[in-house]
C-alpha cells in the first residue's frame, strides 16, 4: 500500500527563516576532463563496476517561498562487457508527484579517452517502455566495452521530509556518498542498514547543516533463491524529526495517528449502518458477522487505483462497486463500529520488502494495513482479495507490526494504545499439500490411465480458490492442467472435477481445495523392447531445483511452513513385475538444535498386485541458517530427483 499522500499532512508544520542563497546542486559539477578508471582483475568479472554513486538531498526554503527538495544523483559506471552496455545504456529517473527535472547531463567516455557529451536538447527520452511507469528514461549513446557512462541530474519537488536510498546493487560500487543538506534549525534522524556506514553531521555554513556518509568498496549483492534479497541491500533512511517549531515529527505515534485520522469519516457511519443492516439483524456470532462483512465487500466492491470522491467516499464506493484502499478501509472500519466488533488496525511490512523498525519509524516501511480481532486472535486483510478472515498472507509471516487500538465516537475515529507484536502465519498442520494418484494398466501397457487428486489446504488453497472465482470453466480447466500436468506436454484429459472452490471456505482452515482428474499421456510410459519404462516421478508435477555455484551469502527463508504428502499407487498388470524399486528410497533432513526442521522421505509398500509410493517433504520452519544450506539443498533437490524417477515394468518369469 502506498501512503505518500499522508506526507502532505506535514507540510503545514514546515517553516523556517532560511533566506535565499547558493544551493549545493547549483555549484556541483562533474570533472571537465574525465579519465577512465583502472579496474581490478577481480572486478572485471562483472559486466560493469560503479565507480562512484553520489546522492545529494537538499531541503531549502526560499524567502517567503514554499519548502523545496532538490535531489541530485551523479553516477559513473565502468563497462566491462556487451551485457554491461545493454544494462547501462539508459538513465532511469524516478518521477513522483510534482517532481520536475531541472538539470540533466549525460556523457560517455571512450577507451581512448574521447568524451561524447550528449546535449540536453538531443537526449532521447524513451517512452512507453513495457513494465515501467513513473520513470523518465534517457538513452546514453556511444558506450563501448572498457569505457564509462556518466550522468548527473537534479530533480525539484515539494519538500520531502523523509526518504530512503538503496546504494548496493548486483555489481561492485567503489565509492558511494550521500549528503543530506537542510536548515540549521532542523533536526534529521538517519539510520543505516545492512552494514552501511553510519552518517555524520557537520554545519557547513551559518544557515545549513549536512548529514553525510561515505562507503567504499561496496560488494556486489548476490541475489539468491529462498532469500529476501532486496531488503538485505545496504540502505540509508532519513526523516525530519524537528523543524524548529514542532518536535517528534515522524515518530510511530505521529505516523499512525495521521493514518488513523485520515480514515475518520463521520458521514460514513450512516452509510455503514445501512450497508450492514441485514447482518446486524441476523442472529450471528461476532465471527460470523466479520465473515459476512468481508464477503459482502469483497464480492460486491472491486479494488481499483484512483483518487477523488468516487474512490474514497464509501457511499460512492458502494453505489459504483469499486473504490481505492483508503475508501475501502473506511468502509470496513465503520461497518465494524456499526456491529460493535472490537478490532485493532495493524500496520505491517512484507518481509520481502523491508520490516517495521520499532526504533526508527517511517511511512515507507508500512506497506500493508489490516485488521486484528483480539477476541479470536485472527486477521482480516482488505487488500488481499484472494484471502479471507483468519490469517495473514505469506509476506507477513514472522514479522513485527504496529497494533493500534481505536474507537469511534460521534462518528470520529479516536486512537488509543499502540503496541509492537510479532505476527505468526499458519502452522504446518494447516498447510497440507499433495497428490493422491493411481496408475492403471489395461491391454495397452504403453498408455495407462491415471486417476489423480491434487489437494491443498491453507495458503495454496487460498490462491487456488481465487483462480476458480476469477474465471469461467475454460480458465479453471486450463489452470488444473497447468498444475497437475506440469511435467507432461502431450496428454488427453478424460475428466476434471473440483471440490472446495467457494471462497467462503477459506475462513475454515480444515477445508481443502481438491482437483480431481483422469488422464492418459504417452509420455508416462515408454516401450523399450520387452520392457516398459514408467516415469512415475512425473505424477507429482515439476519440482524446483536448487543449485548455486558461489558460496551461500544469505540465510534461507521459505514462503511458508508446508507439509507435502504424495501417494502413488501402481496397479501391476497380471504377469508383470516392477524393477528399480530400490531407487525409490531416499531420505534427507535438516537438523536444527537436535530437531528435524525439514526433511524429505520417499518409500514404498508392496502387495502382490500393486506398489504404493509415499513421498513426504516437510518444512517445519521458514528460517534456516546459511550454514545448513547444503542439507537444505539436498531436501529441495530430493523432490526434483524424485520427479525423474523411472521404474521398469517387465514380464514376471515366475508367471511363465
- DSSP-derived secondary structure for 588-624: EEEEETTEEEEEEEEEEEEETTEEEEEEEEEES-SEE
Three-state SS for 232? helix
Q: Which residues pair with 649 in a beta bridge?
A: 532, 578
Q: Over pLDDT 70: what percentage of the chain? A: 94
Least confident window among 545-549, 607-611, 652-656: 652-656
pLDDT (tens digit, 9 = 90+) per residue, 578-590?
999 999 999 999 9
* Whole-number Å distance between alpha carbons of 129 and 124: 13
In whole angstroms, give the CA distance from residue 84 to residue 239. 35
Q: State the cell numbers at 107.
A: 556523457
**Is pLDDT larger for residue 139 or for residue 30?**
30
Whether the model clears a pTM of 0.85, i.e. scores above it, the answer is yes
The per-residue pLDDT for 371 is 98
Q: Give the integer Cα–Cα distance in Å for 494 and 191.
A: 60
**Residue closest to 349 by CA, chosen among 365, 364, 372:** 365
Phi, psi of 618, deg, nearest 5: -130, 135
**The three cell numbers locating residue 515:** 482437483
Q: How confident is the model at residue 11 (pLDDT cuts 50, 70, 90)?
A: very low
What pLDDT is stored for residue 431 in this prediction? 95
Residue 5: is its pLDDT beyond 70? Answer: no
Whether 612 and 550 have beta carbons less than 8 Å apart is answered as no
C-alpha cell at 448: 495407462
Q: How many CA atoms lie within 13 A of 368 on its CB side?
A: 29
- Rounded mean pLDDT of 15-31? 74
Distance CA 85, CA 88 (A): 5
Please, which residues bridge with residue 102 across strands?
none
- Report the mean per-residue pLDDT for the chain: 91
Q: Render pLDDT for 132-189 as a digit per residue (tens, 0 to 9).
A: 557 788 888 889 999 999 999 999 999 888 999 999 999 999 999 999 999 988 999 9
pLDDT at 497 over 60: yes
What strands lie across the sheet with 525-528, from one edge to the other? 525-528, 531-534, 647-651, 576-579
Q: Which residues, listed in sequence order, are joined to residue 23 by a DSSP beta bridge?
A: none
Q: Are 599 and 619 in contact (CB under 8 A)?
A: no
Straight-line distance from the first to the last Cα atom of the chain, in angstroms, rounded to the nearest whole number: 70
pLDDT in tens, 310-363: 999 999 999 999 999 999 999 999 999 999 999 999 999 999 998 999 999 998
Place of cell 514542532: 246
pLDDT of residue 72: 96
Task: Identify the residue with better confidence: 428 or 85.
Answer: 85
Residue 536 confidence (pLDDT)? 97
Burial of 520 (0-12, 13-18, 19+ CB in 10 A): buried
> What are the tens digits of pLDDT across the range 520-569?
999 999 999 999 999 999 999 999 899 888 899 999 999 999 999 999 99
From CA 124, how far away is CA 141, in angstroms rounded? 9
Query: Given this model, what pLDDT does residue 18 score?
Result: 47
Position 62 confidence tier, pLDDT thresholds 50, 70, 90: confident
Closest CA to 436 of 536, 315, 323, 567: 567
pLDDT score, position 655: 55
Cβ-contact 535, 458 below 8 angstroms? no
Evaluate whether 58 touches 156 at the Cβ level (below 8 Å): no
The answer, yes or no, to whether residue 484 has pLDDT greater than 70, is yes
The number of beta carbons lying within 10 Å of the beta carbon of residue 302 is 12
Cβ atoms of 16 and 183 closer than 8 Å? yes
Predicted local confidence at residue 126, as pLDDT = 58
pLDDT tens per residue, range 255-310: 999 999 999 999 999 999 999 999 999 999 999 999 999 999 999 999 999 999 99
What pLDDT does residue 121 have? 66
C-alpha 401/C-alpha 171 separation (Å) is: 33
pLDDT at 120: 67
Tell me: pLDDT of 14 over 50.
no
Is 90 exceeded by the pLDDT of residue 616?
yes
> Is the confidence at residue 92, as pLDDT, over 90?
no
Amino acid at each position: 500500500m502506498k501512503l505518500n499522500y499522508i506526507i502532505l499532512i506535514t507540510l503545514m508544520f514546515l517553516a523556517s527563516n532560511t533566506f535565499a542563497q547558493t544551493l549545493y546542486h547549483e555549484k556541483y559539477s562533474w570533472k571537465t576532463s574525465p579519465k577512465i578508471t583502472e579496474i581490478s582483475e577481480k572486478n572485471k568479472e562483472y559486466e560493469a563496476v560503479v565507480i562512484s554513486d553520489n546522492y545529494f538531498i537538499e531541503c531549502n526554503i526560499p524567502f517567503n517561498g514554499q519548502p523545496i527538495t532538490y535531489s541530485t544523483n551523479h553516477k559513473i559506471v565502468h563497462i566491462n562487457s556487451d551485457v554491461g552496455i545493454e544494462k547501462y545504456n539508459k538513465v532511469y529517473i524516478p518521477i513522483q508527484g510534482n517532481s520536475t527535472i531541472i538539470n540533466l547531463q549525460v556523457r560517455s567516455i571512450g577507451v581512448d579517452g574521447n568524451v561524447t557529451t550528449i546535449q540536453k536538447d538531443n537526449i532521447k527520452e524513451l517512452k512507453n517502455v513495457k513494465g515501467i511507469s513513473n520513470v523518465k528514461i534517457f538513452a546514453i549513446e556511444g558506450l563501448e566495452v572498457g569505457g564509462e557512462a556518466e550522468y548527473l541530474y537534479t530533480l525539484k519537488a515539494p519538500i520531502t521530509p523523509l526518504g530512503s536510498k538503496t546504494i548496493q546493487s548486483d555489481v561492485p560500487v567503489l565509492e558511494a556518498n550521500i549528503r543530506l543538506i537542510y536548515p540549521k534549525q532542523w533536526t534529521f534522524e538517519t539510520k543505516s542498514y545492512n552494514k552501511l556506514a553510519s552518517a555524520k553531521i557537520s554545519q557547513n555554513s551559518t544557515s545549513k547543516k549536512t548529514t553525510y556518509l561515505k562507503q567504499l568498496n561496496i560488494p556486489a549483492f548476490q541475489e539468491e533463491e529462498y532469500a529476501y534479497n532486496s531488503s538485505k541491500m545496504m540502505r540509508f533512511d532519513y526523516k525530519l524529526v524537528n523543524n524548529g517549531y514542532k518536535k517528534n515529527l515522524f515518530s510511530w505515534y505521529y505516523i499512525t495517528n495521521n493514518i488513523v485520522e485520515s480514515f475518520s469519516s463521520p458521514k460514513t457511519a450512516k452509510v455503514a449502518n445501512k450497508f450492514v443492516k441485514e447482518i446486524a439483524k441476523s442472529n450471528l456470532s461476532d465471527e460470523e458477522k466479520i465473515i459476512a462483512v468481508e464477503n459482502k465487500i469483497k464480492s460486491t466492491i472491486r479494488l481499483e487505483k484512483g483518487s477523488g470522491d468516487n474512490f474514497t467516499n464509501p457511499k460512492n464506493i458502494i453505489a459504483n462497486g469499486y473504490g481505492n484502499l483508503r475508501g475501502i478501509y473506511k468502509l470496513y472500519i465503520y461497518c465494524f463500529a456499526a456491529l460493535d466488533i472490537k478490532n485493532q488496525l495493524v500496520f505491517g511490512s512484507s518481509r520481502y520488502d523491508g520490516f517495521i523498525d520499532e526504533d526508527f519509524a517511517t511511512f515507507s516501511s508500512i506497506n500493508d494495513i489490516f485488521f486484528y480481532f483480539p477476541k479470536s486472535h485472527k486477521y482480516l486483510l482488505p487488500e488481499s482479495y484472494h484471502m479471507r478472515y483468519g490469517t495473514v498472507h505469506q509476506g507477513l509471516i514472522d514479522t513485527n507490526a504496529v497494533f493500534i487500538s481505536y474507537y469511534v465516537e460521534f462518528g470520529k475515529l479516536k486512537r488509543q494504545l499502540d503496541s509492537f507484536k510479532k505476527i505468526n502465519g499458519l502452522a504446518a498442520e494447516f498447510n497440507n499439500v499433495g497428490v493422491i494418484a493411481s496408475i492403471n494398466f489395461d491391454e495397452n501397457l504403453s498408455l495407462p490411465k491415471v486417476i489423480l487428486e491434487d489437494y491443498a489446504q491453507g495458503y495454496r488453497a487460498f490462491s487456488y480458490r481465487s483462480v476458480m472465482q476469477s474465471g469461467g470453466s475454460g480458465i479453471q480447466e486450463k489452470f488444473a492442467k497447468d498444475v497437475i500436468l506440469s511435467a507432461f506436454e502431450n496428454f488427453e484429459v478424460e475428466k476434471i472435477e473440483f471440490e472446495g472452490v467457494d471462497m467462503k471456505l477459506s475462513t475454515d482452515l480444515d477445508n481443502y481445495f481438491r482437483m480431481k482428474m483422469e488422464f492418459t499421456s504417452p509420455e508416462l510410459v515408454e516401450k523399450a523392447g520387452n520392457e516398459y519404462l514408467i516415469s512415475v516421478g512425473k505424477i507429482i508435477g515439476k519440482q524446483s531445483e536448487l543449485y548455486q555455484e558461489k558460496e551461500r551469502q544469505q540465510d534461507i527463508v521459505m514462503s511458508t511452513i508446508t507439509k507435502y504428502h504424495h501417494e502413488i499407487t501402481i496397479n501391476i498388470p497380471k504377469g508383470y513385475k516392477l524393477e528399480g524399486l530400490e531407487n525409490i528410497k531416499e531420505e534427507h533432513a535438516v537438523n536444527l538444535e537436535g530437531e528435524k526442521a525439514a526433511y524429505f522421505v520417499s518409500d514404498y509398500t508392496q502387495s502382490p498386485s500393486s506398489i504404493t509410493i509415499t513421498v513426504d517433504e516437510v518444512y517445519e520452519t521458514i528460517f534456516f541458517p546459511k550454514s545448513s544450506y547444503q542439507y537444505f539443498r539436498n531436501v529441495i533437490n530430493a523432490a526434483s530427483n524424485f520427479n525423474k524417477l523411472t521404474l521398469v515394468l517387465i514380464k514376471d518369469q515366475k508367471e511363465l
